[in-house]
Amino acid sequence: MREKIKVMAVFGTRPEAIKMAPVILEMQKCKEIMPVIAVTAQHRDMLDQVLHLFSIEPDYDLNIMAKGQTLFDITQRAMSGLDDVMTREKPDLVLVHGDTTTTFAGALTAYYHETAVGHVEAGLRTYNKYSPFPEEMNRKLTGALADLHFAPTATSYENLLNENVPKKDIFITGNTVIDALHRTVREDYQFDTPLLEGIDYLHKRVILVTTHRRENLGEPMRHVYEALRQIVSEYSDVEVIFPVHKNPKVRKVVSEELGNLPRVHLIDPLDYEPFANLMHRAYLILTDSGGIQEEAPSLGKPVLVLRDTTERPEAIKAGTVKLIGTQKQRVIDEVKYLLDDRSEYMRMANTCNPYGDGLAARRIIDAILYRYEFSDVRPQPFTIDK
Ligand code: UD1
Ligand code: UDP
């Protein structure tokens, strides 16, 4: 048996960083693991916000982000940079997270190096290859390349079994985003901006909005923003807080439709700490984000998802998340329903934890130690009842 294994974490965007951070912090405490951190920086500013919050210093930073980058740009630049890094470091295991293009490029590069791949947040599926695009294919292809699959829930575990992934290679861990959330949300949190600290969260109803999905760019997003204009004009106690994604294609339509409207606050992406605490204070959340669908149920916040499909059915089953698409009238109707009907609001505002219990990173490290024979105890799976 070896004394240590070298585990390289590869990531590049904001959500991967938030969800990898607990795994990295846990690896850094583990004497059997020598961690190496390689970021592609597919996102620059939004990645750095997270690295800073969790005090993570990458060993390698490929700095690939370019304005208007295409999927081809990201894939090529990430693979060529990661090839050099893996040639130099020769890791025993490469950990990737989720479903971004960095994820897939990281897994494919590791495979070309004949290096084992561990996939964190494995097994999520919509079974529609263009929705979400390109994430459904990124995670499927990564799954095909992976040797260790860290499925967050029993549903994702079943998906992998149905694709003939050997049972012994799958560990149900919970989602590491809940670990990150537990570290971050506090009842006594104070915002450091006058806007967020100045809002009367008891008497105003804050609708927190985020949009970024590639398949929603352009007209679908425009319809959502038109719906928001109407809502704000009808409800004087509603304040919209919208941290606008850095993608210029998102920012353009947002400012055209929602710029200079009273009670609509367009702000830059927030650091994770204020954002998570803002979710905690919000009345309801409107989003096309994957991660927010997982976090909000833990905080008891209703989420209306601006998409036609989701790979995260657990909170929909639990009743705290609803899939509503992007048609203007549907968005108006669903938001008004939650603003007008207290009992429907209370029904959705139920706190539930289908995605994790805050111990996912520990289970992932335990699974790695088990696989590499540092331990003979297979970690217990995460279950919703825990
Ligand atoms: C990417 C991921 C998506 C993930 C999302 C999380 C892919 C193909 N897409 O989508 O799966 O859900 O991140 O947010 O992997 N930009 C900046 N600064 C930043 C970040 C982005 O200026 O810190 C701008 C750049 O102009 C960049 C553009 O946003 O070209 C789009 O970024 P990109 O990573 O290509 O796509 P996202 O929509 O962010
Ligand atoms: N988030 C953040 N600041 C913001 C908006 C979102 O820190 O202004 C966090 C959010 O809490 C979640 C993650 O970013 O953990 C989700 O990222 P995103 O929506 O960009 O990507 P997705 O999850 O859809 O891949």
Q: What is the DSSP string of 332-368?
A: HHHHHHHHH-HHHHHHHT----SS--S-HHHHHHHHH
User: Ligand 1 centre from 118 Cα, in Å?
Assistant: 23
Contact 207, 335 (CB under 8 A): yes
| Candidate of 10, 11, 13, 212 to mutate for ligand 1, largest count of ligand atoms within 8 Å of Cβ | 13
Atom of ligand 1 nearest to the CA of 69: 30
> What local confidence, expressed as pLDDT, does residue 351 receive?
86
288 belongs to the catalytic site: no
CB of 277 within 6 A of ligand 1: the answer is no
pLDDT at 30 over 60: yes
Q: Output the pTM of the full model.
A: 0.98
In which band, very low, low, confident or very high, does the pLDDT at 386 lie, cut at 50, 70 and 90?
very low
pLDDT at 281 over 80: yes
φ, ψ of residue 282 to 5 degrees: the values are -70, 160
Atom of ligand 1 nearest to the CA of 45: 23
Distance CA 159, CA 163 (A): 7
Average pLDDT on 138-166 reads: 98
Tens digits of per-residue pLDDT, 177-209?
999 999 999 999 999 999 999 999 999 999 999
CB of 97 within 6 A of ligand 1: the answer is no
Average pLDDT on 348-357 reads: 93
Q: What mean pLDDT is reported for the chain? A: 97
Q: Whose CA is nearest to atom 28 of ligand 1?
A: 247
φ, ψ of residue 119 to 5 degrees: the values are -105, 110
pLDDT at 45 over 50: yes
Average pLDDT on 343-362 reads: 95
